[in-house]
């Protein structure tokens, strides 16, 4: 694993591994023990330009290659991922502080998305549409957009980089990837190495490790990319949307969430507790779909709360290299301090503390709060850490009002003995995704993934990926002669 951080601590531009030419380095730390994993000299605006120009050159030939030949690259990448699974798992643990459960979850989903990418190579189907004009043939071609810019997050960087990168490449595009500065290897150069070894031609995937302090908006303002995908905060997403809109550039934005898991009065309480604990605390709560709020019908609130708190107290916090660890470190000290401050704020506002976890460096033990005042900002924003808010309600109407009382609309779940009651509940919730009798955290290759309100714009996966990374071109053919009015 150490060679992974040594060998891949570079930029990858036009098929070449090389250092950046910026005046400072991004230092990649292990968030658990502070070990320095890598030092990467950042890419400059000029190197971002070089990456995009390399992508534009490489795309022209890639778009014309037989899709069956493109498919072979993804089949090979999947085989390599399976061969290197343990190395990648250890890299996720080291760079992200991810536990074994989190790392395995991310890698298994990445495999599914590589399998789907192989199928996507054959999905750009054309159509022939009728015309009211005699003798006219309307041909509709689905063609790649050209070059896609991908900005990925730190929380699940291997999956959330590989997913748009592989889909865009499969559909005939070239890609420039900018990973988060806290996950430059797992979210960036590790993926570049995987595709390089799988036989992807040079220039089609470029990785620039840099920071907005160095390049400003150069990555999103560059004239070459036709689509920018971003996963991260709604604050940054709004800025990206504004800049891209001014250039009539397409965006796919997967932003924050404030998901609720709802327990109705007829729910299986033990099962709902298991679903809620996983949905809140997996990956230290650093998941956009995490159940920030756990809503429980007042008639079962006492039983649920007792069992929920008991289970949370069993969650082991500590070294992510220990397979027994459930809660590893959050990504950095800024996140750790922000989570502690959020709990302090809630307590100051009158919340009741059921479990208060200590914060030691980047290790934040789980907390459980209830009686959070309805006007508290904590109920309406994303808490990117292991803090659960238990909210009692009286009846479905109140539950739906509380669930929708947030600027976000990404995911959620409801638990009930009556499936159709759950579906009817879900249909009244303003989210892009909602789950009946399950957790709030799901992603599948064929199902459109995305949110409403401040949780983003656009969708990925399945048919929506075609809409994201291709465009439609109309070519008509007139058989015989048209009649012109003059």
| E strand map for 320-463 | 352-355, 359-360, 363-364, 367-370, 387-393, 408-409, 412-415, 435-436, 452-453, 456-457
From 254, 303, 365, 420, active-site residue? 254
What's the gap between Cα 248 and its chain centre?
24
Helix, strand, or coil (residue 456): strand
Residue 254 appears among annotated catalytic residues: yes
Q: Of 214, 288, 382, 396, which one is the catalytic site residue? A: 288
Q: CB within 8 A of 213, min separation 6: which ones? A: none
* Residue 331 near residue 97, CB atoms below 8 Å: yes
Give the residue ranges of DSSP H helices in 153-297.
157-170, 190-197, 212-215, 218-221, 234-246, 269-281
Query: 452-453 and 408-409 as β-strands: parallel, antiparallel, unpaired?
Result: antiparallel
Whole-angstrom Cα distance, residue 348 to residue 95?
34
Q: Which residues pair with 205 in a beta bridge?
A: 175
Q: Any idea which residue has 């291997």 for tokens? A: 158
For 275-401, list the strands marked E by DSSP. 291-297, 352-355, 359-360, 363-364, 367-370, 387-393
Q: 164 φ, ψ to 5°?
A: -70, -35
Residues designated catalytic: 254, 288
């Amino acid at each position: 694993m150490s060679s992974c951080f040594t060998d891949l601590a570079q930029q990858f531009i036009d098929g070449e591994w090389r250092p950046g030419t910026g005046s400072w380095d991004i230092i990649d730390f292990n968030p658990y023990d502070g070990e320095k994993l890598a030092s990467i000299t950042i890419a400059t605006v000029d190197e971002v330009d070089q990456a995009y120009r390399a992508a534009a050159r490489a795309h022209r030939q890639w778009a014309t290659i037989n899709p069956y030949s493109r498919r072979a690259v993804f089949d090979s990448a999947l085989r390599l991922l399976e061969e290197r699974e343990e190395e990648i798992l250890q890299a996720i643990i080291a760079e992200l502080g991810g536990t074994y459960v989190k790392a395995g979850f991310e890698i298994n989903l990445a495999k599914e998305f590589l399998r789907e990418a192989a199928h996507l190579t054959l999905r750009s189907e054309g159509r022939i549409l009728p015309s009211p004009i005699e003798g006219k043939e309307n041909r509709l071609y689905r063609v790649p957009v050209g070059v896609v810019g991908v900005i990925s997050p730190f929380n699940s960087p291997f999956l959330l980089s590989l997913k748009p990168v592989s889909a865009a490449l499969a559909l005939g595009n070239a890609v420039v990837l900018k990973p988060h500065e806290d996950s430059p290897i797992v979210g960036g150069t590790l993926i570049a190495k995987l595709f390089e070894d799988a036989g992807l031609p040079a220039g089609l995937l470029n990785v620039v490790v840099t920071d907005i302090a160095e390049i400003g908006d150069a990555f999103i303002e560059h004239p070459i990319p036709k689509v920018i995908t971003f996963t991260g905060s709604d604050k940054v997403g709004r800025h990206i949307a504004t800049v891209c809109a001014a250039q009539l550039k397409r965006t796919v934005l997967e932003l924050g969430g404030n998901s609720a898991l709802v327990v109705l009065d007829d729910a299986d309480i033990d099962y709902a507790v298991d679903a809620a604990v996983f949905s809140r605390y997996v990956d230290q709560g650093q998941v956009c779909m995490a159940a920030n709020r756990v809503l429980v019908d007042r008639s079962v609130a006492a039983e649920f709360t007792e069992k929920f708190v008991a289970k949370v107290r069993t969650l082991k916090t500590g070294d992510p290299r220990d397979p027994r660890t459930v809660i590893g470190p959050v990504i950095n000290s800024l996140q750790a301090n922000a989570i502690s401050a959020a709990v302090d704020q809630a307590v100051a506002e009158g919340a009741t503390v059921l479990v208060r976890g200590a914060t030691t460096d980047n290790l934040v033990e789980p907390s459980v709060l209830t009686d959070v005042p309805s006007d508290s900002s904590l109920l309406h924003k994303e808490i990117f850490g292991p803090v659960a808010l238990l909210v009692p309600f009286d009846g479905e109407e109140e539950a739906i009002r509380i669930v929708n009382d947030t600027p976000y609309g990404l995911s959620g779940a409801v638990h009930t003995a009556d499936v159709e009651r759950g579906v009817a509940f879900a249909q009244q919730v303003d989210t892009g995704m909602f789950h009946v009798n399950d957790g709030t955290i799901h992603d599948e290759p064929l199902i459109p993934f995305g949110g409403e309100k401040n949780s983003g714009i656009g969708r990925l996966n399945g048919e929506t990926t075609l809409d994201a990374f291709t465009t439609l071109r109309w070519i008509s053919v007139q058989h015989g002669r048209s009649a012109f009015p003059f």
